[in-house]
């Protein structure tokens, strides 16, 4: 989709004299969506000159703008840019487009400074968005570059944080920074905090080897050390008793973390009553709250970009994007070894988990490895210290048993969601979502609406439902009787026949609708039964999304259809212990773990199961993506394709279904 956000508004010709505007497609695209058409040559009346910040090439555009009496558009990266610095080649997720100045240059007011000085910033909805945005940025450990290793241990708390920057950076020069100024800042940090350890935080581009900083080993002492690891700045800010910076964005983040940082330059966030300013700022007289500062800098000022839908978007969509991308990088950057993976799945696992380093497939768990190990959950009973992998709950358009690759996979470091005999990471996530912020409730509610309006279920197969008799309708979904969720998650009722009998005995006058499992209907798995005399309707080859709106109850052992029914407001009775049982949202006739003591709302359950737990991959861009993108792709029918070899194997599998074990083996 190519949504022209600026469609209908007058477009502006933007004349540029920096090659980056021409070679970096993402920058061109954001500018185009913002109403600017890049041109070469000389501007005429009404045209604008575009320059990149205060880059070494900016003088070209500024000279021509002066000569031709043209306005200038200053272009810079937004404050949440990407996983890695731009010098790695990664495109930005947002830009700031400033018609009056540069946000980091105090010599002249910028559009951002004008927003902070004159905008009312008193709209309740805007400030609520700002507060929720601050919460998400902190909890997701996001910064301008967000490739942080969250497993790194933090330093002992009680230290002073001194922030280094890159030599010659335009933001440093604009604030009058030089070697002497940084050394002075380090001395004052020690003088004002006698006895405290001082940590110098190295800039990410210095860590990556792109540019040097102002501090070196010559500045070290028994009290001063340099931190060059990829630890999250939010982790560092938690343990700091003071923050000292010239003009780094980390000073802005320190404010959001509750600090009042000591500022030795004049960055955009100084002078508003939230910092201790070494240099006076006479024209900034307004006192702001943290939420007001965040609202202007992160919501009103930037142009944010959605790489999946190719359009401009709100901050919240960028946070969803970074949540998916950072989770994938943080799990995958050390690489994986993997065992218990059927041959047909390996290509797709490589696409999802091998973007940073190729997955090494092994016959078992290596005795020693510098990588984490993953194993398909059904092969993990005797595996220790391995991450279990299983299909997510919004999987594909088609069956896994038919070799259709998944859009989502769940990773679990404790157990797996269908095994109630052991704790799982999903249980912990559900417990943690007992209380939701308003923005989390809104996101889960919108996701449910998107799933229902898209008529989606796990596999999205089947056709229309049969004609239903009048009466109280109870849907009984059949299951694969040798499935791990039945073997591990049931006690007394363990077969489809017994489930139907229990449902009929409890509901003698109801219309009982039995839906065979699609794998069983395809002849690929065990579980076929003679339901005549027990069910009033046998809904063969029916889509769950078409059946559920027509029933009042669902009776199930452990089927995911129980969860799908809850999302649609249908009452659910469980006779086993599926992941959604035991939380107060279902009537449970089976044995559920006593450890499930939390009482989340339905929205909390949905947030944990569909947003927090699985990973999703966009079949269009091939990138890790938020659940909302996966839902949109499924709704549009744009799914992952297993390729011609898997399509052929799937047809052969259908023809020789009784021998399916031959190609489904590892």
- The two structure tokens encoding residue 232: 């999250």
From 300, 325, 347, the end of a domain falls on: 300
Asked, for residue 377, whether it belongs to a domain, the answer is: no
Residue ranges making up the domain that contains 295: 124-300
- pLDDT exceeds 50 at position 385: yes
Asked, for residue 148, whether it belongs to a domain, the answer is: yes
Closest CA to 584 of 562, 572, 568, 600: 600
- pLDDT exceeds 60 at position 666: no
From 264, 279, 300, the end of a domain falls on: 300
pTM for the predicted model, two decimal places: 0.92
pLDDT digits (tens, 9 = 90+) for 258-304: 999 999 999 999 999 999 999 988 999 999 999 999 999 999 999 99
CB 614 within 8 A of CB 406: no
CB 73 within 8 A of CB 101: no
Confidence of residue 9 (pLDDT cuts 50, 70, 90): low
By percentage, how much of the chain surpasses pLDDT 90? 79
- pLDDT exceeds 50 at position 157: yes
By percentage, how much of the chain surpasses pLDDT 70? 92
Domain count, the chain: 2
Tokens 């942080």, located at residue: 148
Asked, for residue 9, whether it belongs to a domain, the answer is: no
Rounded distance between C-alpha atoms, residue 277 and residue 273, angstroms: 9
Mutual angle of helices 315-332 and 124-139, in 10-degree steps: 10
Residue 639 confidence (pLDDT): 65
CB 560 within 8 A of CB 459: no
DSSP line for 129-186: HHHHHHHHHHHTT--SB----TTSPPPPSSEEEEE--BTT-HHHHHTT--HHHHHHHH
Query: What dihedral do alpha carbons 520, 522, 524, 527 form, nearest 10°?
Result: 10
216 strand-pairing partners: none
CB 35 within 8 A of CB 71: no
Asked, for residue 14, whether it belongs to a domain, the answer is: no
**CB count, 10 Å around CB of 123?**
12
Residue 641 confidence (pLDDT): 54
Average pLDDT over residues 36-53: 96
Task: Give whole-number Cα distances, 13 to 35, 107, 542, in Å.
Answer: 9, 27, 55
Rounded distance between C-alpha atoms, residue 618 and residue 44, angstroms: 43
| Backbone φ/ψ region at 273: left (φ over 0), alpha (ψ -120 to 50), beta | left
Asked, for residue 578, whether it belongs to a domain, the answer is: yes
Do 439 and 585 lie in one domain? The reply is yes
Rounded distance between C-alpha atoms, residue 216 and residue 199, angstroms: 12
Average pLDDT over residues 592-602: 97
Asked, for residue 441, whether it belongs to a domain, the answer is: yes
Q: Is 88 helix (H, G, I), strand (E, B) or coil?
A: helix
From 613, 630, 658, the end of a domain falls on: 613
Q: Is 105 helix (H, G, I), strand (E, B) or coil?
A: coil
The CATH number assigned to the domain holding 547 equals 3.40.50
Residue 372 confidence (pLDDT): 95
- The two structure tokens encoding residue 140: 């997701």
Asked, for residue 315, whether it belongs to a domain, the answer is: no
Asked, for residue 599, whether it belongs to a domain, the answer is: yes
Rounded distance between C-alpha atoms, residue 537 and residue 478, angstroms: 13
Residue 637 confidence (pLDDT): 85
User: Which position has the higher pLDDT, 228 or 290?
Assistant: 290
């Amino acid at each position: 989709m190519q949504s022209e956000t600026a469609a209908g508004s007058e477009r502006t010709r933007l004349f540029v004299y920096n090659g980056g505007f021409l070679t970096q497609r993402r920058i061109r695209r954001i500018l185009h969506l913002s109403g600017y058409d890049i041109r070469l040559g000389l501007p005429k009346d009404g045209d604008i000159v575009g320059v990149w910040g205060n880059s070494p090439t900016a003088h070209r555009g500024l000279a021509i703008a002066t000569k031709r009496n043209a306005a200038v558009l200053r272009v810079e990266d937004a404050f949440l840019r990407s996983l890695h610095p731009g010098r790695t080649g990664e495109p930005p997720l947002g830009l700031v487009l400033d018609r009056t100045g540069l946000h980091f240059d105090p010599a002249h007011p910028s559009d951002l400074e004008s927003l902070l000085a004159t905008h009312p910033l008193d709209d309740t909805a805007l400030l609520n968005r700002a507060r929720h945005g601050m919460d998400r940025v902190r909890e997701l450990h996001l910064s301008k570059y967000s490739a942080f290793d969250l497993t790194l241990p933090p330093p002992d708390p009680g230290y002073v944080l001194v922030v280094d920057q890159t030599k010659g950076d335009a933001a440093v020069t604009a604030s009058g920074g030089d070697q002497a100024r940084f050394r002075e800042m380090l001395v004052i940090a020690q003088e004002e905090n006698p006895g405290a350890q001082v940590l110098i935080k190295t800039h990410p581009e210095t860590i990556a080897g792109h540019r040097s900083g102002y501090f070196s080993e010559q500045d070290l002492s028994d009290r001063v050390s340099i931190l060059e690891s990829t630890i999250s700045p939010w982790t560092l800010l938690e343990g700091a008793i003071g923050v000292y910076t010239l003009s780094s964005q980390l000073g802005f983040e320190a404010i959001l973390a509750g600090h009042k940082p000591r500022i030795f330059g004049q960055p955009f966030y100084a002078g508003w009553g939230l910092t201790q300013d070494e240099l006076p700022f006479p024209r900034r007289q307004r006192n702001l709250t943290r939420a007001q500062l965040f609202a202007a800098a992160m919501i009103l000022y930037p142009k944010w970009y959605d790489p999946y839908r190719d359009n401009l978007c709100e901050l919240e969509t960028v946070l969803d994007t970074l949540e998916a991308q950072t989770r994938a990088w943080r799990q995958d950057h050390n690489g994986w070894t993997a065992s218990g993976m059927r041959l047909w799945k390996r290509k797709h696992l490589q696409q999802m988990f091998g973007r940073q380093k190729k997955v090494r497939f092994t016959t078992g768990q290596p005795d020693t490895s510098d990588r984490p190990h993953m194993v398909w959950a059904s092969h993990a009973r005797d595996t220790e210290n391995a991450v279990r992998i299983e299909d997510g709950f919004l999987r594909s358009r088609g069956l896994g048993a038919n070799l259709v690759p998944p859009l989502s996979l769940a990773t679990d470091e404790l157990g797996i969601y269908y095994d109630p005999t052991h704790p799982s990471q999903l249980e912990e996530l559900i417990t943690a979502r007992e209380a939701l912020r308003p923005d989390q409730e809104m996101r889960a509610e919108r996701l449910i609406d998107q799933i229902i309006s898209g008529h989606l279920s796990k596999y999205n197969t089947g056709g229309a439902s049969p004609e239903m008799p009048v009466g109280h309708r109870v849907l009984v979904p059949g299951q694969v009787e040798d499935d791990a969720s039945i073997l591990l998650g049931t006690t007394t009722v363990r077969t489809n026949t017994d489930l139907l009998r229990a449902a009929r005995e409890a509901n003698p006058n109801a219309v009982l609708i039995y839906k065979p499992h699609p794998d069983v209907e395809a002849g690929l798995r065990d579980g076929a039964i003679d339901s005549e005399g027990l069910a009033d309707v046998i809904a063969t080859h029916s889509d769950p999304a078409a059946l559920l709106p027509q029933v009042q109850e669902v009776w199930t052992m452990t089927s995911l259809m129980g969860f799908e029914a809850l999302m649609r407001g249908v009452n659910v009775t469980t006779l086993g212990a599926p992941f959604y049982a035991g939380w107060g949202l279902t009537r449970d006739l089976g044995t559920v773990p006593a450890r499930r003591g939390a009482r989340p709302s339905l929205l909390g359950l949905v947030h944990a199961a569909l947003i927090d737990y699985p990973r999703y991959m966009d079949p269009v861009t091939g990138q890790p993506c938020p659940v909302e993108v996966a839902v949109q792709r499924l709704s549009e029918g744009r799914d992952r394709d297993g390729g011609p070899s898997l399509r052929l194997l799937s047809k052969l599998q259908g023809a020789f279904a009784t021998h399916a074990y031959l190609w489904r083996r590892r």
